[in-house]
Amino acid sequence: MAVHAFAKSSGRRKPLPGGASNHSGWRAIMFLLPSWLLLAVFFFVPILLTFYFAFTNLSLTGTSSLATKFIGFQNFVSMFQDPTFRISVIKTIVFLVFSAVIGQQVLGLLLAVLMNERHRVFRSAIGVLVIAGWVTPEIVVAFIFYAFFSDGGTLDTFLSVFHVQPIAWLYAFPMVSVIIANIWHGTAFSMMVYQAALGDVPKEILESAAIDGAGRFQRFVRVTLPMIKGSIATNMMLITLQTLGVFTLIYSLTGGGPGNRTMTLPIYMYQQAFSDYQLGYGTAISLILLIIGIVASFVYLRMLKVKL
């Protein structure tokens, strides 16, 4: 279908200047075909299947795995009556807002602003420390913070200086713990985005603002922020979507527990689908996750007024 659309469109393309007109429409198809094939089979088919399975009682074991039935909206009806589902929506939002929207975004911007115009060596020295967290694979991040937050672990060692009794942070403050771990892992990404963006802000404008008597803070709010608006919105979208899908970190750090205290939607989906054998119900949860992702990107795109 879509390939077809492209065949048509590329035939009608405006001829490019200087000899480009000898490129016929099928070339465009040839270039796009591999990506479309891959995306169609492994991306769009599973998404369509998600819509289908979400309305079935498909299960991993037991009778309904053989006799899978179409059950209409039953999964969604139970979902909205399921207190754990409600909890996990809230947990997902908390995790998203605090670890990505606030944590990574603000800390990343702060780092980039503070590092801007510092000495090169100093910049890269601090930069490397922050980027180390980003380069570290998610699962190792989980181990590191497992040790960091464990009863008698690194954090307790440091706090013992202030005579704080050892605390098993992952059990006492599980959500705070996974949020901190995710900030540690993700901040470098935002920092690098903003470093690149700040590098594009022309110095002359800032200087002339300074001459006009604008203070450091005013210059940042009045000049810099509007100029990097595009990067902020793009970054916001990217990290929002990355964070919505975070599974490995939480799964290996807390497994969603204790109780349901870090049960974000991806974890709940996994539990329902694979540990509790309810593939259909798990898929229905996935569908909600997909919809949240789509809505979030739509909102950001609107905010951005992106033109592609």
Partner 1 sequence: MKRRAVCIGSSIALACVGLSGCATNSQHVAPQTSSHQQGEASTVKQRIITVAYQQFGNPPYFNQEWLQQAAQQFEKKYRGVTVKLEPIEASENDFYTKIDLMMKSASTAPDVVTEDTFLINADGSAGYLQPLNTEVKSWPDWSQFSAAMKSGSTSNGGVVYGVPYSTDTRGLYYDVKIFKDAGLPVPWHPKNWNDVLNAAKKIKEKVPGVVPLWMQVGKATGEATTMQTFEMLLYGTPDTLYDAAKHKWIVQSPGFLNSLKWIQTVYAGGLGPSLSQILNAQAGNIESQQLMPQQKIGIALDGNWLPGSWQKNGPAPWPDGTKAYQLTAMPTEYGQAPGYTSMSGGWALSISRLSQNKQLAWDFIKIATDKNNMEWYDVHQGNLAPRKDVADDPSYENAPGQFFKVATSFEKFTHFRPANAQYPSVSTQIQAAVEAVATGALTPEQAMQQYASNVQRIVGASNTEIVSK
Partner 2 sequence: MKWSRAKADTILVHLVLVLIGVVFVIPLLWMIFAAFDGNATLALQVPQHWTLGNFWAILSDPANQRSFVNGVIISLGQSVLVVIVAGLAAYPLSRYQLKYKRPFMYTILFSTSLPITAVMVPVYELFVFLHITDSIFWTTLFLAASGLPYAIWIMKNFMDSVPIELEEAAWTDGASAFSSLRKIVAPLMLPGISTVGIFTFAGSWGNFFVPFILIQTPSKLPASVTIFQFFGQYGSVEYGKLAAFSILYTIPAVVLYVLGQRYMSTGFQFGGATKG
Among positions 37-66, residues that touch partner 1 (CB under 8 A) are 37, 40-41, 59-63, 65-66
261 binds partner 1, rule: CB under 8 A: yes
Scan residues 138-157 and list those touching partner 2 (CB under 8 A): 138-140, 142-148, 150-154, 157
Contact stretch for partner 1 (CB under 8 A) within 93-101, 105-113, 167-175, 299-307: 167-175
Residues binding partner 1: number (CB under 8 A):
39
138 binds partner 1, rule: CB under 8 A: no
259 binds partner 1, rule: CB under 8 A: yes
62 binds partner 2, rule: CB under 8 A: no
176 binds partner 1, rule: CB under 8 A: no
Nearest distance in Å: CB 166, partner 1: 11
Nearer to partner 1, 274 or 298 (CB): 274
Cis amide linkage into residue 202, ω under 30° from 0:
no
Can you tell me which of 100, 178, 239, 273 binds partner 2, judged by CB under 8 A?
A: 273
Nearest distance in Å: CB 285, partner 2: 8
Q: Which residues contact 103 (CB under 8 A, 6 or more apart)?
A: 179, 182, 183, 186, 187
202 binds partner 1, rule: CB under 8 A: no
Scan residues 179-238 and list those touching partner 2 (CB under 8 A): 184, 192-193, 195-197, 199-200, 216, 228, 230-231, 233-235, 237-238
Scan residues 82-101 and list those touching partner 1 (CB under 8 A): 82-84
- The CA-based dihedral angle spanning residues 45, 58, 271, 295, taken in that order and rounded to the nearest 10 degrees: 40
Contact stretch for partner 1 (CB under 8 A) within 16-24, 102-110, 127-135, 165-173: 165-173
Nearest distance in Å: CB 79, partner 1: 9
What does 147 interact with, of partner 2, partner 1, none (CB < 5 to 8 A by kind)? partner 2
Beta bridge partners of 70: 56
CA angle 26, 30, 31 (to 5 degrees): 120
Q: How far is CA 63 from the centre of its chain?
A: 37
Beta bridge partners of 56: 70
Can you tell me which of 55, 148, 281, 300 binds partner 1, judged by CB under 8 A?
A: 281
d(CA 172, CA 224): 41
What does 126 interact with, of partner 1, partner 2, none (CB < 5 to 8 A by kind)? partner 2
Crossing angle between the packed helical segments 279-304 and 83-95, to the nearest 10 degrees: 40
76 touches 284 (CB < 8 A) = yes
Scan residues 67-106 and list those touching partner 2 (CB under 8 A): none
Query: How many CB atoms sit inside 10 A of residue 7's CB?
Result: 14
Token couple for 169: 């942070």
CA angle 188, 192, 194 (to 5 degrees): 120
Q: Which residues contact 251 (CB under 8 A, 6 or more apart)?
A: 267, 270
142 touches 252 (CB < 8 A) = yes
Tokens 């100029």 sit on residue: 227
Give the binding site for partner 1 (CB under 8 A).
Answer: 1, 3-4, 33, 37, 40-41, 59-63, 65-66, 74, 78, 81-84, 150-151, 168, 170-171, 255-261, 271, 274-278, 281
